Amino acid sequence: MVGIMILHVSANPAVPAIYVFGDSTADVGTNNYLAECGAKVNFPHHGIDYPGSKPTGRFSNGYNSIDFLAQFLGFEESPPPFLYLLRKDKKNFMRNVLNGANFASGGAGLLGITGKRPYKRVISVAEQVQQFAKVRNAYTKLLGNQAEDRLSKSLFLISVGSNDIFEYFLYNQTQIKSENFISTLLYSYEYHLRGLLRLGAKRLGIVSVTPIGCCPIIRIRSENEECSDTMNAFAKKFNLGLEALLKKLSTEGAKPMKYSIAKSYDMTLSVLNDPLSYNFKDGKSACCGNGGRLNAEERCKPDSKVCKDRNALLFWDQFHPTEVAFKLAAMALYGGGDQHIAPMNISQLAILKF
């Protein structure tokens, strides 16, 4: 696959392996292997700033936050898609998954139905956890009794939830009342997390939901190009519930899991409120689009207009940040203080003894 390579490890990475779950904010090419999937970005102008200007399947003009976190931890970039390792490199599958795998799928969500209406085929978080079970089996075959120890030292990164909320407002195909919807999402999240914990996960890095009501695609629905306060309220409520869930899980068992949760909403809101302070000239428009309102009336395509200074815009397309914005977030997650991530940052989580 164009732009995908096996993960190269430095002499002393901070963790033995990285396993990634979630949606387009973490996807590095999973959807390229789904024939019926309508959420693919393996074409220009995506990847224009990736090494070699290759469209890898990342929803970005270059790297995403998971790539940068992996680099900070001593890897070259995010581990490759699980489906790539499974289908394209079967002979070395068991050896390669020891360094990590990326299960994230653009358009996916916590609910099994999320992504199916707009994109037909995506890999839900439930299916991603099932895929990881195959990795766990490979661990056992290769490492035996050492498998549990290696997995306990590995890092599990999860970025999901936005698509569920997006689709609730756009389609509401779940028919769930608004007051029950967030509870349903959190119940699903807990179910998936417990599945990972049973399979050996111990260190969880969680990316919470940003002010999704401020994405360009949502702003152009407003006459004054304002954020959707209702969507943002859902995001905040979801994040509060997620924080409580993680605290609960971290107190269970003789050797409970440890976690870091990014305060993505507050971090992003500070940039939206004062983009110039973060060296962004524009915090509303999409860099790649058709030139309509906020350049966001159509998705980024090969014939789209692309801004020249991609470091000056917060958003790459209708939904996703630019590479420089992804990097800014990753820096806060890796080494930030309590205002960015709690109860510890990713660098602390990686080396924590327990």
Domain assignments of the chain as residue spans, ordered by start: 18-351
Q: Is the peptide bond before 45 cis (omega within 30 degrees of 0)?
A: yes
Q: Is 270 assigned a catalytic role?
A: no
- CA 106 from chain centre, in angstroms, equals 9
- From CA 46, how far away is CA 317, in angstroms rounded? 9
Q: What amino acid occupies position 178?
A: S
Is residue 85 within 8 A of residue 96, CB to CB? The reply is: yes
- From CA 32, how far away is CA 1, in angstroms rounded? 8
Top pLDDT among 26 and 7 is at 26
pTM score, whole prediction: 0.94
Q: Is 320 assigned a catalytic role?
A: yes
Give the model's pLDDT for residue 88: 83
**Active-site residue, selected from the candidate residues 23, 24, 228, 347:** 24
Q: Is 45 assigned a catalytic role?
A: no
Closest residue by Cα to residue 262 from 326, 183, 181: 326
- From CA 94, how far away is CA 139, in angstroms rounded? 7
Tell me the residue length of the chain. Answer: 354
Given the structure tokens 């660098």, which residue do they identify?
A: 347
Confidence of residue 11 (pLDDT cuts 50, 70, 90): low
Give the model's pLDDT for residue 5: 35
Is residue 75 within 8 A of residue 10, CB to CB? The reply is: yes
**Active-site residue, selected from the candidate residues 228, 317, 340, 347:** 317
CATH class of 18-351: alpha beta
- From CA 90, how far away is CA 96, in angstroms rounded? 10
Q: What percent of the chain has pLDDT over 70?
A: 95
Reported as a single tens digit per residue, the pLDDT across 53-103 is 999 999 999 999 999 999 999 999 999 999 999 988 788 888 889 999 999
Mean confidence (pLDDT) of the chain = 93
- From CA 21, how far away is CA 105, in angstroms rounded? 8
**Active-site residue, selected from the candidate residues 285, 320, 340, 347:** 320
Give the single-character DSSP code of 64.
-
